Amino acid sequence: MSSMTHATAPITELRERRRILGPAYRLFYDQPVHLVRGEDVWLFDTAGKRYLDAYNNVPVVGHANPAVVEALARQASVLNTHTRYLSEGVVEYAERLQAHFPAALDTVMLTCTGSEANDLALRIAFEATGRRGIIVTRNAYHGVTQALADMSPSLRPVASHVRTIEAPCHLAGSPEQVADQFALLVDEAARDLARAGIPVAVLIVDTVFASDGIHIGYDEVLSRAAAQVRQHGGIFIADEVQGGFSRIGRHWWAFERDNVIPDMVSLGKPMGNGHPMAGLVVQRSLVEAFGKNCRYFNTFGGNTVSAAVGLAVLNELERMEMPAHVARVGEVMADRLLHLAKTVPCIGAVRGQGLYWGVDIRDPGGDSARNGLLAQAISNGLRREGILIGVSGHQGDALKIRPPLTFQTEHVDILVSALARQCQAVLPAVS
Amino acid sequence: MSSMTHATAPITELRERRRILGPAYRLFYDQPVHLVRGEDVWLFDTAGKRYLDAYNNVPVVGHANPAVVEALARQASVLNTHTRYLSEGVVEYAERLQAHFPAALDTVMLTCTGSEANDLALRIAFEATGRRGIIVTRNAYHGVTQALADMSPSLRPVASHVRTIEAPCHLAGSPEQVADQFALLVDEAARDLARAGIPVAVLIVDTVFASDGIHIGYDEVLSRAAAQVRQHGGIFIADEVQGGFSRIGRHWWAFERDNVIPDMVSLGKPMGNGHPMAGLVVQRSLVEAFGKNCRYFNTFGGNTVSAAVGLAVLNELERMEMPAHVARVGEVMADRLLHLAKTVPCIGAVRGQGLYWGVDIRDPGGDSARNGLLAQAISNGLRREGILIGVSGHQGDALKIRPPLTFQTEHVDILVSALARQCQAVLPAVS
């Protein structure tokens, strides 16, 4: 790897990087981290400094997981080809994956990215319903294709066939009241679309409402909303790119905390532990409608290597009994974060479950313009201490914690102790 | 791998496959090929039967290329992470890739699939021009996203902001006349879009016009068309997903046969020799316009593993001096195919260059309804002889030959000799 020193390397590299990759690529941190190695929950930079990874949700069974790497290397050395020839791998993988879903979600289609999965879900929904109206939450993010950017208000204003509704995390009241209000918003949006002559085809939600600020309650938000959109003749897509594969603990999929069976479930990020694979689990009747008029072929989707990698990831998740493990570690995380919120002045709400957490940073003096500045300072302070987290939220005022799921309680201790120190340290530092 | 016998396995497997993957997935051949191993230009099935691969354009430096597999395995075992941390790999790869392009195409953006690359190209074009009109060829295919399916007439009728024009392969006359006519069609389509209040943003063509029937002349078709669309304020996108990385020989990119510098070039299939990677090479001013309002992040695109794989593929292509190699073997292929066309009665036009060829099959009795049947029979006959090719064209009446680029003249001999036998054998067999 690189033998350049920490002090001079970044400047040249940043210039070269910006020259060749252009301005649409952004980096994390004031002083970007230059990583060269990963192992389980640890990352290492060019200077040999070790970081606890409390941010990356893709390497779900740990960075450079040996079983996954071995499956990748073995299959790539034997055969890498597409789904138009027979191969056991893709069928076995699809069956193993489907076994973790309710029986009604009986068909698996494979893509390379979560964006491709959501985009395909849209195409199927449009074909099956003969409609084009879409309902999303106010700050939703569903992917980078043209069609998805048009319905991702976190990226840009939505197109004319899209309606946005407030996410549950911004609705007040008891769980029942929040579910009531959210269903009512779906109802109103569907009526509005119908009035505009664009009847609703789809309600799609990220099942952990990540970009809206995180909502993971054991409530009826999802089931009530799904029932509502179905009453209007639309279908319900659960976007599990963020919430899937045990992220919130106890269940494999975040939608399972509620009594709902989605019409389609889209999967992405952790599916290949970093290998580009994603997919869609769908109720058969919808694919039949789509398959009547459309064929679907994805050159790399479900190729023999992706199938082998996906299978290795499933094996690891099952071996580690991941839903139970995440629930266990997540409880400790919840206790520690909620306790911390009571003991330091700069933490507002703490929202999350399992290993997906958002921590709002609030200026103790009540100057909300300083919240984002404080969050940045805490994130940079943690980075200096050797801990990587993310910053998100409308005003960049929320810490985002979503580590590899192999995170243990000892890692929770390291993270929360450092967070406590940084919350104390940051107050004078930015005044 | 499988120990099932050839006779009974496919039936059960086909049933299971259809049950879990659904009806939108199609297979090649009446009796699908069940592959278990690949090596250079060879593929092997469950029964140990060996096939010469004269069809697959993805494993461009050969199936299971050892250098590529090693790079993949080594990087995956060390670190697989995204572009928001610094890493040399992605910058080095982007620079090495860009060095094969004209200087004006100075910026590289990385995605996972050709569809994502073309979809991103559209987003950039829309943002940069403030327009939405699109011109494509009559049977174009540019990808599977919603936005690309809307402009891929080979998949379904195009949307209202899209105009289709006849591809050069279906225009008559001298090279100059064809270039004249094609430019005129671009002009007419741009005027038509303007009249409809949807001024043209983009002319996009597959630079080998693969799904339209293949056109690879050393002529001015591309440069004249690009000049024409620019006169109307639109931009020219060269889709090199099929034609790129030396496919037609002599040059790295198919557009280089003409005196044209595209505004954007999209890349895909062979870029990672099967590893899911793709990208866009763009003139900086366009990305600046896009980057002003849009950020772009692709979770897997340009990750450390993809960068390492891409670099290994470039290394192999350079080491093998692929443009020259393909030109050399392509000349032999041209001679042999054109000679065969004169000696057997069922071959019509032979179109192509380098290692991309289309061979029209024609019923000697002039019954055009039988052309597709004959092509199918020849393809199935070749498969029995242990040679894989494809069948395409509007009526499924063209053989498609586009092998791994490590194809040698001895492989051309095997292929064309077998093709000669099958062309003879097929006539009585299907009467």
Task: Say if the Cβ atoms of A145 and B149 lie within 8 Å.
Answer: no
Rounded distance, CA A405 to CA A90, Å?
25
State mean pLDDT over B160-184: 96
Banded pLDDT at B293 (limits 50, 70, 90): confident
Banded pLDDT at B23 (limits 50, 70, 90): confident
AA identity, residue A188: E
Which residue does chain B place closest to A301, by CA atoms? B276
Residues of A in contact with B114 (CB under 8 A): 299
Residue B10: pLDDT over 70: no
User: What is the pLDDT, as a whole number, of residue A106?
Assistant: 97
Looking at chain B, how many residues does it have? 431
Residue B47: pLDDT over 60: yes
B119 and B228 belong to one structural domain = yes
Q: Measure the CA angle with vertex B218, ends B213 and B222; round to 5°.
A: 70
A87 and A224 belong to one structural domain = yes
Question: Is B1 domain-assigned?
Answer: no
Closest CA to B101 of B273, B283, B272, B355: B283
User: What is the pLDDT, as a whole number, of residue A87?
Assistant: 84
How confident is the model over A172-194, as pLDDT tens digits? Answer: 999 999 999 999 999 999 999 99
Beta pairing partners, B111:
B278
Q: Residue B108 belongs to what H/E stretch?
A: strand B107-111
Q: Contact, B168 vs B204, CB < 8 A? A: no
Domain end (from A319, A351, A374): A319
User: What is the pLDDT, as a whole number, of residue A15?
Assistant: 87
How confident is the model over A230-276, as pLDDT tens digits? Answer: 999 999 999 999 999 999 999 999 999 999 999 999 999 999 999 99
Domain that includes residue A124, residue range: 66-319
Sign of the four-CA dihedral B6, B9, B14, B20: negative
User: What is the pLDDT, as a whole number, of residue B3?
Assistant: 36
Question: Is A3 domain-assigned?
Answer: no
A393 and A266 belong to one structural domain = no
DSSP letters spanning A17-61 = HHHHH-TT---SSSS--BEEEEEBTEEEETT--EEEE-S--S-TT
Domain count within chain B: 2
Question: Is B3 domain-assigned?
Answer: no
Report the greatest alpha carbon distance in chain A. Answer: 65
> What CA dihedral angle connects A145, B268, B94 and B116, to 10 degrees?
0
Task: Say if the Cβ atoms of A144 and B120 lie within 8 Å.
Answer: yes
Residue B2: pLDDT over 50: no
Residues of B in contact with A24 (CB under 8 A): 109, 287, 290-291, 294-296
Domain end (from B319, B334, B367): B319
Rounded distance, CA A379 to CA A387, Å?
9
User: What is the pLDDT, as a whole number, of residue A99?
Assistant: 98
Which residue does chain B place closest to A93, by CA atoms? B20
| Both structure tokens of B203 | 């002319």
Computed over every residue of chain A, the mean pLDDT equals: 94
A313 and A365 belong to one structural domain = no
B75 and B204 belong to one structural domain = yes
3-state secondary structure of B282: strand
User: What is the pLDDT, as a whole number, of residue A10?
Assistant: 63
Sign of the four-CA dihedral A366, A367, A368, A370: negative
B117 and B220 belong to one structural domain = yes
What ipTM was reported for this prediction? 0.94
Question: Is A284 domain-assigned?
Answer: yes
A184 and A105 belong to one structural domain = yes
Question: Is A1 domain-assigned?
Answer: no
Task: Say if the Cβ atoms of A10 and B293 lie within 8 Å.
Answer: no
A222 and A273 belong to one structural domain = yes
B13 and B75 belong to one structural domain = no
A121 and A200 belong to one structural domain = yes
CATH number for the domain that contains residue A406: 3.90.1150.10
User: What is the pLDDT, as a whole number, of residue B4?
Assistant: 35
How confident is the model over B119-158, as pLDDT tens digits? Answer: 999 999 999 999 999 999 999 999 999 999 999 999 999 9
Rounded distance, CA B45 to CA B33, Å?
7
Beta-carbon pairs below 8 A across chains A and B: 321
Q: Contact, B325 vs B319, CB < 8 A? A: no
Tell me, yes or no, if B79 comes closer than 8 A to chain A by beta carbon: yes
User: What is the pLDDT, as a whole number, of residue A88?
Assistant: 83
Phi-psi region of A165 (alpha: psi -120 to 50; beta: other; left: phi over 0): beta
How far CA B334 is from CA of A102, A151, B337, B341, in Å, comes to: 55, 49, 5, 11
Computed over every residue of chain B, the mean pLDDT equals: 94
CATH number for the domain that contains residue A149: 3.40.640.10
User: What is the pLDDT, as a whole number, of residue B7?
Assistant: 38
Residue A3: pLDDT over 70: no
Compare CB distances from A69 to B77, B126, B144 and report the shortest one's residue.
Answer: B77
AA identity, residue B14: L
User: What is the pLDDT, as a whole number, of residue A428?
Assistant: 65
Question: Is B186 domain-assigned?
Answer: yes
Q: Contact, B293 vs B326, CB < 8 A? A: no
Q: What is the CA radius of gyration of chain B?
A: 22
Question: Is B163 domain-assigned?
Answer: yes
Banded pLDDT at B6 (limits 50, 70, 90): very low
Phi, psi of A307 (to 5 degrees): -60, -45
How confident is the model over B210-255, as pLDDT tens digits? Answer: 999 899 988 999 999 999 999 999 999 999 999 999 999 999 999 9
Domain end (from A296, A319, A342): A319
Tell me, yes or no, if B160 comes closer than 8 A to chain A by beta carbon: no
Banded pLDDT at A40 (limits 50, 70, 90): very high
User: What is the pLDDT, as a whole number, of residue A349?
Assistant: 93
Question: Is B4 domain-assigned?
Answer: no
3-state secondary structure of A372: helix
B185 and B250 belong to one structural domain = yes
pLDDT > 70: percent of chain A: 97
To the nearest whole angstrom, how far is the Cα of A140 from the nearest Cα of chain B?
15
A47 and A78 belong to one structural domain = no
